[in-house]
Amino acid sequence: MAEEMKTKLAAAGLEANRKADEPCTIVIFGASGDLTARKLIPALYHLYVDGQMPESFRVVGFARRDKTDESWCNEMRESLEKYSRTKNVDEKKWNSFAANLSYHQGDLTEAEAYTRLGDRLQRYESEELKRNLVFYLAISPSLFGEVVDQLHATQLLHRWEEGDEYWQRVVVEKPFGHDLQSAKLLNNHLLRHARERQIFRIDHYLGKETVQNIMMFRFSNAIFEQLWNREAIEHVQITVGETVGVGSRGGYFEESGTIRDMVQNHLLQILSLVAMEPPPSLAAEDVRGEKVKALKSIRAMTKENVAKQVVRGQYFAGTVNGESRKGYRQEEKVDPESNVDTYVALKLFIDNWRWSGVPFYLRTGKNLPLRASEVRVQFRPTPNVLFAAKGDLDLMPNAITLRLQPDEGISLRFNGKVPGNSITSRPVRMHFGYDSEFGAYTPEAYERLLLEAMAGDSTLFIRRDEVETAWQIVDDIRAAWGDEPLTNREFYAAGSWGPMAAEDLLANDQYVWHDPQPAK
């Protein structure tokens, strides 16, 4: 049985000691940007140290600023000191890794820069390094189409055909569009020059070890999968809390708000993993197909439904972990009368056989008390018959909490009898922690995502119809909000868990939010 599971995992590209085997070149557009320094180069370095990179590879940083190979490598080395997941950088291993790095100066809008890039690639020693290419677009989404057009025009990017010996892949960061129409336009633009299987849309949440473990938890444990339905589950809560405000991103946030920045991607991605049906296999298209089905089963967000089921909020001045925070309207590049949402809470229904009638409560916001992401599944209570005469018993519904970050783990809450001669009860908890159980690091999300992009496995990336389905939900909500101003019950103090309107959302159903607790 173990060998059969190992074979299935290997076939799906999910084996434990995964390695990207084919030699390739990774071209990072936006090589002088924050994402490259903080995430991409550290992730590639750690993959190299762990023996998961191909035997032969190259990394080319493409940006407009005038730098040499040496100066760019030195900058990346300094960034690694700051952002590495390990305390010390091995100098010998860094030097070996850095020998594969080079910098290409050029304007993203100029054809000549791409011609020179092609000439550079042609100097590599093998056809694989010349033609197996990962183009990572760590740039503004407004430039995605331009870069893909230029890559195609210089014959660096080809539409993949069955039987092709070499491949090219395009990795794009969120935000993927700012509404349904722009997402469709961008999809159509990219697909002029590449097939869907060549486009890897990143949501870094899907690279987190514990988010991936939702599938393992659900589909490999019969004691839980048999309860994962409307018969046993009363409701589900998904919380993604952030302790930071908008900071220097005020201009961006005025255009996006939390509903575009977090709900459209992170929250709906987690929801789809929690709610999806078992896929027929672990193959990428089977998994992604089930996620899309779950999203398409979400009840339509009509104006009437939005009024009853969606809450927005905005923080005013307060204190987070002892630090004073200004209100959103006082942030840099923010309209002093802005009605942009920095907090969103939703009550969603998934109208299919498994989840009919089960509410899913989602919330996320800026300047909350704790940076934490978790899924809490509350089960239906037992009939109040056996212990009815004991009116003082504190019988709480059973619940499973999947903690995604930090202090990753899974907790089960149930009722236990307090020792003694009287019959009294108290909720107790059984807890599984990743760190204490496995004694191993949790790899950075970008390590897993870059590895999968090099290997050509799109399971952890977002498909076109998935993006567009999520945008349809968000667009319907935003259309229902219109230009309505925020009410007093929609403002919340920085450092609190959100506005009173969000408490009302659950109180109307006789529930309360379960606030994540600090890591122990």
Residue 2 pLDDT grade (very low, low, confident, very high; cuts 50, 70, 90): very low
Provide the 3-class DSSP secondary structure of residue 236: strand
Residue range 85-93: mean pLDDT, rounded: 83
Q: Write the Ramachandran bin of 136: left for phi over 0, alpha for psi from -120 to 50, otherwise beta.
A: beta
Given this model, what pLDDT does residue 205 score?
A: 76
- For 110, residues 6+ apart whose C-beta sits below 8 A from its C-beta are none
Residue range 463-480: mean pLDDT, rounded: 96
Residue range 322-347: mean pLDDT, rounded: 96
Token pair, residue 85, equals 């997941």
266 is catalytic: yes
- Asked whether residue 445 carries a pLDDT value surpassing 50, the answer given is yes
pLDDT digits (tens, 9 = 90+) for 350-390: 999 999 999 999 999 999 999 999 999 999 988 766 665 56
Give ∠ CA 239-243-244 in degrees, rounded to 5. Answer: 125
Give me the sign of the Cα torsion angle 11, 14, 18, 23.
positive
- For 365, residues 6+ apart whose C-beta sits below 8 A from its C-beta are 241, 242, 258, 313, 315, 342, 343, 344, 492, 498
Given this model, what pLDDT does residue 82 score?
A: 86
Query: Which alpha helices (DSSP H) does 283-395 contain, by range?
Result: 284-296, 303-309
Query: Which alpha helices (DSSP H) does 58-126 contain, by range?
Result: 69-83, 91-98, 111-122
First-to-final CA distance of the chain: 37
Measure the CA–CA gap between 390 and 86, rounded to whole angstroms.
54
- Asked whether residue 476 carries a pLDDT value surpassing 70, the answer given is yes
- Asked whether residue 58 carries a pLDDT value surpassing 60, the answer given is yes
Is the pLDDT higher at 29 or at 413?
29
Catalytic-labelled residue, pool 46, 266, 431, 514: 266
What average pLDDT does the chain have? 89
Given this model, what pLDDT does residue 385 score?
A: 61
Domains defined for the chain, CATH in brackets: 2-173 (3.40.50.720), 206-383+463-507 (3.30.360.10)
Residue 10 pLDDT grade (very low, low, confident, very high; cuts 50, 70, 90): very low
Provide the 3-class DSSP secondary structure of residue 348: strand
Is the pLDDT higher at 498 or at 517?
498
- Asked whether residue 287 carries a pLDDT value surpassing 60, the answer given is yes
Whole-model pTM? 0.90
- Asked whether residue 25 carries a pLDDT value surpassing 50, the answer given is yes
Given this model, what pLDDT does residue 358 score?
A: 98
Residue 419 pLDDT grade (very low, low, confident, very high; cuts 50, 70, 90): confident
Residue range 272-289: mean pLDDT, rounded: 93
The residue among 272, 216, 499, 507 whose CA lies nearest residue 363 is: 499
- Asked whether residue 209 carries a pLDDT value surpassing 80, the answer given is no
- Asked whether residue 231 carries a pLDDT value surpassing 50, the answer given is yes
Query: Which alpha helices (DSSP H) does 321-402 contain, by range?
Result: none
